[in-house]
Amino acid sequence: MAGTVVIEFPSDYKFLNIVDLVCGEIVEGLCCGRDETNEIAISVIEACTNAIEHGNRQCPEENVRIVFRCEPGRLIVEVEDRGKGFDFKSYLEHIPDPSNLQHLRGRGIYIMKNMMDALRFEVMPGNGMKVTLEKNLPETAADAGSGVA
Amino acid sequence: MAGTVVIEFPSDYKFLNIVDLVCGEIVEGLCCGRDETNEIAISVIEACTNAIEHGNRQCPEENVRIVFRCEPGRLIVEVEDRGKGFDFKSYLEHIPDPSNLQHLRGRGIYIMKNMMDALRFEVMPGNGMKVTLEKNLPETAADAGSGVA
Amino acid sequence: MRIVTREKSGVVILDLQGKLMGGPDAEAFKGTIRKLLDAGCRKIVVNLHDIDWINSTGMGILISGYTTMRRSGGDLRLLNVSDKIQSILYVTKLNMIFRCYGDENEAVESFETP
Amino acid sequence: MRIVTREKSGVVILDLQGKLMGGPDAEAFKGTIRKLLDAGCRKIVVNLHDIDWINSTGMGILISGYTTMRRSGGDLRLLNVSDKIQSILYVTKLNMIFRCYGDENEAVESFETP
Ligand SMILES: Nc1ncnc2c1ncn2[C@@H]1O[C@H](COP(=O)(O)OP(=O)(O)O)[C@@H](O)[C@H]1O
Ligand SMILES: Nc1ncnc2c1ncn2[C@@H]1O[C@H](COP(=O)(O)OP(=O)(O)O)[C@@H](O)[C@H]1O
């Protein structure tokens, strides 16, 4: 069974409680370990806060859309906003050092990149930006990939 | 702010945990009383189990889609399946007595009708069935209708 | 749903865990009740403390257990009914039928006084 | 986010509640730290027990508090760091910087031994 769950919500941080809960519930159902569960939830929240803040600029009329695709052996999460995107190629080449205390910001993408197995950005001209997060799951989780506990 | 949250998931009861959580979180954010919160969550779960069981006949390729519309003064929840619908007009005219112990089933629609302020059915030919549940919210909740705690 | 069976002062307590919502759960529950009846048990307390959620189909499962027990001269009573379940019982008027308790000893002792 | 301030053996404990994620939270937190510094406080424990969730922007708020305190010869230490927050600290190597405690007394007493 292709377990795809979609959730769409206005660009308001208030809704991130829901995202956190849904994410936790889906990942728990995939029988991931505790560390993996945390890594996925943290990364999805980072992607969503970027979508709300940088993508949709907190405009509540613009939605954020998250697609969770539970495939055998991996979980793919797509986070879409309606913004213009950014020059992610050059950003990814020079990700700032996260341990630098001079910087109060700029750790979101670093965290996603280091916690997930794959991170992809895509600008859909006139259509927003899509961030794709992938996590490989252990073999036992692959079989459970069909559903949620 | 029009607070519309959409969630879409495969026709598997396993996903109802997520629905229950999302519903609870949204309704809590609307500052409803405890009784109203329970009534909404119970009714949405009834509508979803019907969508999975009767509408999509548990076919995991068919999704159930829920739209939560938080308007000032009320919450509207739409539950859509991809099934053929049923003759709800005649059903609504003869809803069975829920206290009849001979019947092990047939209480879902009765519960929704009695717990919500409005219940509407709509068959969208070739497109599935939509059940719309409405709950009026107290004045204080109306102002909070903009978001989620 | 998982069912754990235990005994206390001649009363069988069924601890239900997970979701209670028809389908395979119905068969499992009916099977348990049938076995308990065959073993001579007439007093059952269903503990709903660890039920995450229930729907009207799950309520039907409890009704079937209740009517089966009553027909055999026994009874089935509920323990630790959440407010959600209480709301369902209330709106369906099944609160007139099921005896509900918040305390395990109270539920067990309720069978002593007819 | 809500901030409750209390004192214990010369250490100020900040109990944070809710979500920690930049925006208005950053200003509120900075304001609290500034007032405490003005009042002569140099020892702060930030209790994260009631933080529902945090993101990297929220982490930035803690960093700003930490650097402000250090620059004034004080310190800011963390109490009740959940595994999620621990993972964020770890991956960003900020675990090398923040001292974390699981017990309130231990956190308070940690300021006694330099
Ligand atoms: N969805 C997005 N839309 C537009 N720009 C983005 C998006 N996500 C990230 N960015 C850009 O990438 C930069 C780095 O993001 P991140 O590492 O998450 O740190 P921060 O959000 O704290 O700046 C952001 O400052 C922003 O310019
Ligand atoms: N989404 C739906 N699609 C098709 N038929 C439905 C749907 N919802 C309800 N029904 C019909 O209405 C009947 C009554 O529903 P309900 O009161 O929820 O009780 P139950 O599901 O226990 O039968 C169902 O048996 C079914 O025939």
Task: Assign residue B47 the CATH number of its domain.
Answer: 3.30.565.10
Q: With 60 as the cut, is the pLDDT of residue C3 above it?
A: yes
* Contact criterion met (CB below 8 Å) for B92 and B106: no
- Least confident range from A65-69, C25-29, C40-44, C101-105: namely C25-29
Closest atom of ligand 1 relative to the A105 alpha carbon: 22
pLDDT value at D24 more than 50: yes
With H, G, I as helix, E, B as strand and everything else as coil, classify residue B126. coil
pLDDT band at B140 (very low <50, low <70, confident <90, very high): low
DSSP B33: -
pLDDT over 50 (residue A141): no
CA dihedral defined by B14, B16, B22, B26, rounded to 10 degrees?
Answer: 180
Helix, strand, or coil (residue B7)? strand
Q: Stretch A90-112: mean pLDDT, rounded? A: 97
Candidate from A26-35, A127-136, B125-134, C28-37 with smallest mean pLDDT? A26-35
Q: What are phi and psi of A74, to 5 degrees?
A: -160, 160
Residues lining ligand 2, Cβ inside 6 A? B 50-51, 54-55, 81, 83, 85-86, 91, 105-109, 129; C 56-57
CB A105 within 8 A of CB A54: no
Could you report the per-residue pLDDT of B3-60, keeping only the tens digit for each?
A: 899 999 999 999 999 999 999 999 988 878 889 999 999 999 999 999 999 999 999 9
The answer to whether the predicted template modeling score (pTM) of the entire model surpasses 0.90 is: yes
Q: Mean pLDDT throughout B103-126?
A: 96
Residue A119 near ligand 1, beta carbon < 6 Å: no
pLDDT attached to residue C114 = 63
Domain residue extents for chain D: 2-108
Cβ–Cβ gap A147/B9 under 8 Å: no
8-state DSSP, D12: E
CATH code for the structural domain at D2-108 = 3.30.750.24
Q: Residue B141: which pLDDT band, with cuts at 50, 70 and 90?
A: very low
Q: What is the pLDDT of residue B148?
A: 46
CB of A104 within 8 Å of a chain D CB? The answer is yes
Number of domains in chain A: 1
Over residues D79-106, the pLDDT tens digits come to 999 999 999 999 999 999 999 999 999 9
Split at pLDDT 50, 70, 90, the class of A147 is: very low
Over residues B77-99, the pLDDT tens digits come to 999 999 999 999 999 999 999 99
**Per-residue pLDDT tens digits for D30-81:** 999 999 999 999 999 999 999 988 999 999 999 999 999 999 999 999 999 9
pLDDT at B139: 63
DSSP string, C25-62: HHHHHHHHHHHHHHTT--EEEEEEEEEEEE-HHHHHHH
- Please, are residues D92 and D103 in contact by the beta-carbon 8 Å criterion? no
Tell if the CB–CB gap between B46 and C60 is shorter than 8 Å.
Answer: no
- Dump the DSSP string for chain A: --EEEEEEEES-GGGHHHHHHHHHHHHHHTT--HHHHHHHHHHHHHHHHHIIIIISTT-TTSEEEEEEEEETTEEEEEEEESS----HHHHHHTPPPTT-TT-SS--HHHHHHHHSSEEEEEEETTTEEEEEEEEE--HHHHHHTT---
Tens-place pLDDT, residues C51-109: 988 999 999 999 999 999 999 999 999 999 999 999 999 999 999 999 999 999 999 99
Contacts of C29 (CB under 8 A, 6+ apart): C1, C3, C61, C64, C65
DSSP assignment string, D19-84: EE-STHHHHHHHHHHHHHHHTT--EEEEEEEEEEEE-HHHHHHHHHHHHHHHHTT-EEEEES--HH
CB contact under 8 A, D84 and A17: no
- Tell which wins on pLDDT, B9 or A142: B9
By CB neighbour count within 10 A (0-12 exposed, 13-18 middle, 19+ buried), where does C64 fall?
middle
Q: What is the mean pLDDT of residues A110-139?
A: 94
Domain limits for position A78: 3-146
Write down the pLDDT at residue A140.
Answer: 58
Q: What is the rounded average pLDDT of the residues C25-43?
A: 95
How many residues are there in chain D? 114
Mean pLDDT, residues A8-23: 94
Measured in angstroms, how far is the CA atom of residue A93 from the centroid of ligand 1?
14
- What Cα–Cα distance (Å) separates residue A11 from each residue in B37, B103, C75? 24, 46, 53
Round the average pLDDT of chain A to a whole number and report it.
91
CA Rg value for chain B:
15
Residue B48 has phi, psi (to 5 degrees) of -70, -40
Whole-number percent of chain B with pLDDT over 90: 79
